Structure 1
Amino acid sequence: MKDDREAFFVVRKGDLIGVYKNLTDCQAQVGSSICDPPVSVYKGCSIPENTEKYLLSCGLKNALYSIRASDLTEELFGTLVPCPVQQLAASRGETSSEPMTKKRSQEVVWSDYGRSCTLEFDGSSKGNPGQSGAGAVLRSDDGLWTCRLREGLGVATTSVAEYRGIILGLKYALGKGFTSIRVRGDSKLVCMQIQGLWKVKNQNIASLYEETTKLKDRFLSFQIVHILRDLNSEADAQANLAVDLAEGQVQEEIDE
């Protein structure tokens, strides 16, 4: 192992892979609840330059990175070894002092956990406030299932409509038995608040924020990222169609 100043730690939690530059951030991901998804922690000696560039190309920077397990490539992290600080694994008898080969470490760290999907959400309000609708698009990771959802909301603001979009999608995903979900939306307000980076100051939004938080906590693995508007066109289309629906009316289209 090279100088520990170049060390990094790879954490697999549910369907997400996190890369950390220090043990403090790494250990924060090892939950104490029995409801937490299984965690695997490995240590590497120097993040390859190509890996840094790849993570940056995904919009991930600073000390903490995260990617989907399905995006892993064979040469991405190089050789990894079990990390001795993984107390959770030790309690299950999973630790080993022997270095793992690249292939074997990937079999352990990147194995699938539960049913995974992607959710794209959006909201539309013609007047802000005005006639509004919520839209969501769900896709299973195996590529075999896509669902487009829309809900009429009556008169509401854009922020309310966007929250209703994510709530619509999360409820549907839970109802279909998905345990891991990656959420994408062009509402910076919703994404930053759900990540805990922005405070919720609007009383009308507070109840929707709380409902969204309770729903996300029911997933074994949850990730939310903000994307540009032009990358969210399908969910936007559903939200615009929903404006013409009666309040509370929900429509769905499923491709299998």
Structure 2
Amino acid sequence: MAVIILIPYHIWSARNKRKYECLERNHSFVVKAVLRDLIDFSKLVPINIKSVSELVFSRQLKVLISPSTTRKIVKVPWQCLPLVYWKLNIDGCSLGNPGCSGAGGILHDDQGIPSRLFANYEGISSNFVAGFIAFFAGINHTRSMNIRKPWIECDSMAVVMCIKNKKNSMDVSAGLVVLRAT
């Protein structure tokens, strides 16, 4: 945000110095002034990093980065399922949104014993798309193993709601899939 203000200010300032004070400044002076002010500004308000490219850019400029917040780890215990179900835990993620993404999952029997694991790099996509890719990959794995009643758990409420509202073209018969957000 600060860069949006600093760049026009320094261009305007250099223009006025050239016009009214007869001081010629080249473009590198303006760039250095913007970078200097950005570093000074980051000392007052540290930069909040949201992606790897922002991190690399901030380190190159030597600006202060705000410390990341500590995330709370919540242990989710295994819950046994009725004998007819298999549990499919799926997740999709992207580094940046959109960014490099992956989708994966794990398929357990009713006793919690893993029987199939899968993970794929999916190229550039959003978290939402990666979650859907994980869902469809998981469904394909359950079908290839002739599993009739998968119990699917996903951490993306958007993916769960979209699937439950049937706003897609999947061919899953009613009653064969139990889906819930974790």
Q: In the alignment, which residue of structure 1 is the partner of 2:101?
A: 132
- Answer 1 or 2: higher relative contact order, Cα 8 Å, separation at least 6: 1
Instruction: Give unpaired runs (5+ residues) of structure 2.
Output: 1-79
- Offset of 1:221 from its aligned partner? 2.2
Give me the whole-angstrom Cα distance separating, in 2, the residues matched to 1:169 and 1:155.
20
CA RMSD of aligned residues (A): 2.4
Taking structure 1 as the reference length, the TM-score comes to 0.37
Q: In the alignment, which residue of structure 2 is the partner of 1:223?
A: 178
Number of residue pairs the alignment of both structures matches: 104
- The correspondence for 1:172, drawn from 124, 129, 141, is 141
- Offset of 1:141 from its aligned partner? 1.2
Instruction: Give unpaired runs (5+ residues) of structure 1.
Output: 1-67, 71-111, 201-208, 228-256
- Offset of 1:220 from its aligned partner? 6.1
Contact 1:133 1:153 in 2 (8 A): yes
Change beyond 3 A, Cα 1:122–1:69:
closer
Output the amino acid matched with 1:152.
Y
What fraction of aligned residue pairs are identical, expressed as a percent?
24
- Offset of 1:146 from its aligned partner? 2.6
Change beyond 3 A, Cα 1:158–1:117:
same
Runs of 4+ in 1 over 3 A off after TM superposition: 142-145
Give me the whole-angstrom Cα distance separating, in 1, the residues matched to 2:96 and 2:130.
12
Residue deviations 1:11-68, cap 9 Å, x none? xxxxxxxxxxxxxxxxxxxxxxxxxxxxxxxxxxxxxxxxxxxxxxxxxxxxxxxxx8
Taking structure 2 as the reference length, the TM-score comes to 0.51
Give me the whole-angstrom Cα distance separating, in 2, the residues matched to 1:190 and 1:222.
14
Give me the whole-angstrom Cα distance separating, in 2, the residues matched to 1:123 and 1:175.
21
- The correspondence for 1:148, drawn from 99, 117, 121, is 117
- Offset of 1:169 from its aligned partner? 0.7
Bigger share in helix = 2
Give me the whole-angstrom Cα distance separating, in 2, the residues matched to 1:150 and 1:126.
15
Output the amino acid matched with 2:86.
C
Contact 1:121 1:136 in 2 (8 A): yes
Give me the whole-angstrom Cα distance separating, in 2, the residues matched to 1:69 and 1:142.
8
Give me the whole-angstrom Cα distance separating, in 2, the residues matched to 1:145 and 1:128.
30
Residue deviations 1:128-177, cap 9 Å, x none? 11110001111011444432210110111111000001111110011011
Give me the whole-angstrom Cα distance separating, in 2, the residues matched to 1:138 and 1:69.
13
Contact 2:106 2:114 in 1 (8 A): no
Larger radius of gyration: 2
Contact 1:179 1:220 in 2 (8 A): no
